[in-house]
Structure 1
Amino acid sequence: MSTARTRCVALMGLEGRLIEVEASVAGGLPRTVLVGLPDASLYEARDRCRAAASSQELAWPQGLVTINLSPASLPKAGSHYDAAIMAAVLAAAGVVPEQALERVVLLGELSLDGRLRAVRGLLPAVLGAVQAGYRRVVVPRDQVREARLAPGADVTGVGCLREMVAFLRGQEVPQGGLEIVSEAPEPMVGAPDLADVIGQSEACWAAEVAAAGGHHLFLGGPPGVGKSMLASRIPTILPELSVDEALEVAAVRSLAGVGDGEWSVRPPWSNPHHSASMASLLGGGSRVPRPGAISLAHRGVLFLDEASEFQQKVLDSLREPLETGEIFLTRSVHQATYPARFQLVLASNPCPCGYHGVAGGRCACPPQKVRRYQDRLSGPIMDRIDIQQQMLPVGRALINPAHAGGGRERSADVAQRVCAARERQLRRLAGTGWRTNGEVPGAFLRTEWPTPGGMGLLDGPLRRGTLSARGVDKTVRVAWTVADLSGHDKPTEQDMWVALGLRQGLPQREAV
């Protein structure tokens, strides 16, 4: 009996755990046994590998072939184990030297003709291998660009089983087209810009404050006033991601199977349709849960247009992720934690027809129907929204730009102010692990930072019940962001007035 072993990676959420793939070739009736808690797609690897070896004119061992995935108690899923299984079997059969499998991790799915196909979750798998001390990684050639995003990884790309055998034998493997383009892409002509939003200067200001502090935003108003247009421009004024943040975002996209292998420092944008299920929003799956829309929006914006049309239980499921910045999914054999530190932007009409409270009396919805429609956005969800902004019809500004007033600034100009405010926050939050005012817990906010001016303004709304304890903390967070945009060392009474008005969705003179 001869044995050999190599290594692969099992994904537990974004965490990669090293798996030892052992192969044993012994006498007996020719058959292949795969053990170690594989799922259906992994169990079929034995048939894929045998067919791939035959197509590449490599002899599959005659006798009993036993393949073990260790630790055996850990459930394993996916087709990315094929390359490691094939390498271990070939080494046990003496086709490739066993020494070549030391300190190397192999990832990839084999097709029946021997090609090495791309797999989902390659980047977090390579990151897991590097963290475990295995820097040499063999991946499908189409995913070399993605794998090289992992710092410290020594990546080799192979296109087929024959090339993988050549690599393991120490022969040269042709590489091509593997350079990573790091230059920033040129701006597209006609790209979305905040200047496209006409006659909504107050809403643009609210969006600027939300972007500067990472605050959640609600946009209300009748159809056609520009709610969706404004929301879609928010990513254009957000700062670029840091290297660590961009790597985290790329890992989530790779695990979800939507990654393109490119490095992007632009914050992600996710806008699921209002018919989205809870599993598609939060993430899920029958055996191994995948990341959902909220994780794809990690470090970016999650936009829920027509928010009142979402199922109420789907919206209410966002409560915990909004507070914790992560989502914990549990299945019968697998648990996974995915990051979900997103900026939530909601947009909704005031009633089913959209014209309740609009001048002209066009709404024909009964009061009960209006109430039921508005109640779909539950109190606990709205209490977690930092800024509420009601948008009014544009009027003559759309036809005659002279009536547009202020607010038609370009995204590049607003982004400069947002970046300056974020830099003030990063300096103030250095060493805490938080990056924006919107992430700071209330206890830290009240005990570690100077008391803002105008705190007495919150006493009246708090006593009347129009402001909750959570609402007080969120108002103070918004006040700090307003101060950062204004260049103040700490919020003044005027900053608190502005923050309270933004929190309650009222003009400043009506906020208290």
Structure 2
Amino acid sequence: MLARLYSASLRGLDAEHVDVEVDLSKGLPCWSLVGLPEGAVREARDRIRSAVVNSGFEFPLRRITVNLSPADRRKDGSHFDLPIAIALLKASGQLSEQPRLPLLNGSSAPAKDAETPFLIGELALDGRLNPVNGVLSLALFARQQGFSSIILPKDNLREAVAVTGLTAYPAEHLLAVAEHLSGKSLLQSAARPEEGSHDREIDIDMADVRGQQQARRALEIAAAGGHHLLMSGPPGVGKSMLAKCLPGILPPLTMEQALEVTRIYSVSGDNSRFPMSRCPPLRQPHHSASDVAIIGGGSNPRPGEVSKADHGILFLDELPEHKRIVLETLRQPLEDGRVTVARAADTVEFPARFQLIAAMNPCPCGYLGHPVKPCRCSQAEIRRYMGRISGPLLDRFDLRIHVPPVEHHELSRMQPGEPSKKVAERIKLARARQYGRLGSGNVNARMSSSDIERDAKPDEEGAKLIDRAMNHFALSARSYHRILKVARTIADLDASESVTASHIAEALQYRGEDFIDTA
């Protein structure tokens, strides 16, 4: 007897189905699983056998063949457990015939009936359903294939209910799924959360930052236009604190952006972020992280830190201490907004539209240029230290500023700075102007050459000023475009339709040519 269910692979999300054949003729028991299963899939035989028996069903002591089709694609993950178990129960005649049952009696076309559920879940030995990775991607695939409902573990519910047009049924046990499919006791569908709500947490408010007016202004410009920012300064001046203020002034993610970020975290199995959170992600990998951890990859490719920072911030503290290969591999995703991981058997592309914020000391001891503490480093040590950051990578930072120390007596007399809430209001207005010109979700930092020519062309005085700067600092064409992008963002913050000489002058202040050349 043959039963068939439909599932999907996390790697390609191509249409796949599970065939289970139970030979009811006499013969020795045989439980085989074919279709290039990886380790977690092969071990499903023992999990399913125990779960079926502990759920009150009889495990057929006959020849059983499970085929995961297509046979030439490797299958990985434990989300196949539930569809295999249900197909096994159906093939052995332990589930009654019901129209809602997702079985096709040998037909090769996928079920499209409105009552046909899509099954996902890992089985524990006692029959409980454990959560799995990649549920959001699988739910989107199910909707694409025409399914109108999905049955999945209860702990994966928040990801599935984010998909419109798909009814989610959370289940805790294999027996509950079997009773639902046979019509004995139906599962309760879950309600979709309100789209107007979002989670927004401000760990550090900009009101806590005393002084550092230039750094505050640079952070506001970076947030308004999505620009990459590099901060250099002695230890303890507040570089890390400034970077951690950034999520509090960025606009909340749209539902589409939150959906994409949640998919990334779901596929990677990272539970550090609440599903469908509207707060932009902030990732802070340690400088000992490998290139695979930062960029993504592995034998079964998974997203790295740059993808987990999608639509958010990637903060690299102590930038020169990161491995050279890691820093150089950042150059391509900084330009393209995506990461392509190529393997012999497959090629996977992950989104990586992140904003890079980096901090560094001006020298190995950290006190080069300090007004009080002397630097202990030799010129050769300083050159080696700065040489860890290549010119092409430096050129990709739109804003490069020096963060000086603040005197103690100044700190005690200073009033609290402007709070993040007020700064966020100005950034929201500036973003609205950008969206009106470039389209929803597009910021100045990602303007094309034609966009720059149309929207960021300076006036006559501004053109003369940028020409002098290009000749004086021998700037590249990339630097020229980045200066115009920053100037366009400054103009947006000023509610100016045109880019003037004052906007160009302020943008040039944030190039950091002086302290880079001095180092």
TM over 0.5: yes
**Corresponding residue for residue 476 of structure 2:** 468
Instruction: Tell whether 2:451 aligns with 1:451.
Output: no
Summarize the alignment of residues 204-219 of structure 1 with structure 2, pairs less than 5 Å apart: 204-219=216-231
State the partner residue of 1:427: 436
In 1, distance between residues paired with 2:17 and 2:463?
59
Deviation by residue 1:302-353 (Cα, 9 ceiling, x = unmatched): 0001111111111111000000101111233332111110000000001111
Give, as a single letter, the amino acid of the residue that structure 1 aligns with 2:17. Answer: E
Distance 1:186 1:262, change over 3 A: closer
Q: Report the alpha carbon displacement of residue 360 of structure 1 after superposing the two structures with TM.
A: 2.9
After superposition, the Cα gap between the structure-2 partners of 1:353 and 1:192, relative to the gap in structure 1 and judged at 3 Å, is: same
Distance of aligned partners of 1:98 and 1:179 in 2 relative to their CA distance in 1, 3 Å threshold? closer
Contact 2:200 2:278 in 1 (8 A): no
Q: What amino acid maps onto 1:449 in structure 2?
A: D
2:448 equivalent in structure 1: 441
CA distance in structure 2 between the aligned counterparts of 1:23 and 1:486, rounded to whole angstroms? 66
* Deviation digits for residues 191-238 of structure 1 (CA, Å, limit 9, x no counterpart): 410111111011000000000000000011000110000000011000
Q: Which residue of 1 aligns with 2:108?
A: none
Q: 8 Å contact 2:210–2:411 — kept in the other structure?
A: no
TM-score by length of 1: 0.92
User: What does 1:110-149 correspond to in 2, within 5 Å?
Assistant: 110-149=123-162
Which residue number corresponds to residue 106 of structure 1? 119
The answer to whether the Cα contact below 8 Å between 2:9 and 2:16 also exists between their aligned partners in 1 is: yes
* Ranges in structure 2 where 5+ consecutive residues have no aligned partner: 103-110
Alpha-carbon separation, structure 2, partners of 1:57 and 1:303: 52
Contact 1:75-1:334 at 8 Å conserved across structures? no
Instruction: State how far apart, in whole Å, the 1-side matches of 2:254 and 2:441 are.
Output: 13
Q: Does 1:268 align with 2:281?
A: yes
Change (3 A) 1:468 1:375: same
Within 5 Å, give how 1:148-163 maps onto structure 2: 148-163=161-176
Q: Which residue matches 1:58? A: 57
- 3-state DSSP of counterpart to 2:240: helix
Q: Which range is displaced more, 497-506 or 227-236? A: 497-506
* CA pair 98-380 structure 1, distance change in 2 beyond 3 A: farther
The one-letter code of the counterpart of 1:482 is I
Shift of 1:61: 2.2
* Equivalent residues of 2:200, 2:252 under 8 A apart: no
Number of aligned pairs?
Answer: 497
Name the structure 2 match of 1:386: 398
Q: CA RMSD for the aligned pairs?
A: 2.3
Identity of aligned residues (%): 39
The letter for the 2-side match of 1:368 is A
Cα distance, 1:17 vs. partner?
Answer: 2.8
Measure, in 2, the Cα distance between the counterparts of 1:200 and 1:323. 30
Say if 2:341 is the partner of 1:329.
yes
2:207 is the alignment partner of 1:195: yes
Using the TM superposition, give the Cα deviation of residue 90 of structure 1 relative to its aligned residue in structure 2, in angstroms: 1.4
Look up the equivalent residue of 2:66 and give its one-letter code.
I
DSSP 3-state at the match of 1:32: strand
1:316 equivalent to 2:328? Answer yes
CA contact (8 A) 2:16 2:69 kept: yes
Structure 1 residues 265 and 283, CA gap change in structure 2 (3 angstroms): same
Query: Which stretch has the larger CA shift, 177-186 or 264-273?
Result: 177-186
CA distance in structure 2 between the partners assigned to 1:504 and 1:443 by the alignment: 26
Cα 1:360/1:376, change in 2 over 3 Å = same
CA-CA distance at 1:470 after TM superposition: 0.6
**8 Å Cα contact 1:21/1:67 also seen in 2:** yes
Give the distance between the partners of 1:329 and 1:217, measured in 2 at CA.
26
Asked if structure 2 preserves the Cα contact closer than 8 Å seen for 1:220 and 1:391, the reply is yes
Q: List per-residue Cα deviations over 1:437-470 (Å, max 9, x = no partner).
A: 0111234422x43622212322233334531111
Shift of the 242–185 alpha-carbon distance from structure 1 to 2, 3 Å rule, reads closer
Letter in 2 for 1:269: L
**Matched residues in 2 for 1:177 and 1:151: separation?**
12
Change (3 A) 1:435 1:274: same
TM norm structure 2: 0.91
Unmatched 5+ stretches in structure 1: none
CA distances 1:272-313 after superposition (whole Å, capped 9, x unpaired): 011111111111222x11111111110000000111111111
Secondary structure of 1:315's match?
helix
Cα pair 1:145 1:261 within 8 Å, conserved: no
- CA drift of 1:18 comes to 2.8
Contact 2:170 2:190 in 1 (8 A): no
Query: How big is the shift at 1:177?
Result: 8.4
Q: Is the 8 A contact 1:16 1:129 kept in 2?
A: no
Q: Secondary structure at the match of 1:400?
A: helix
For residues 186 and 93 of structure 1, what CA distance do their matches in structure 2 show? Answer: 47
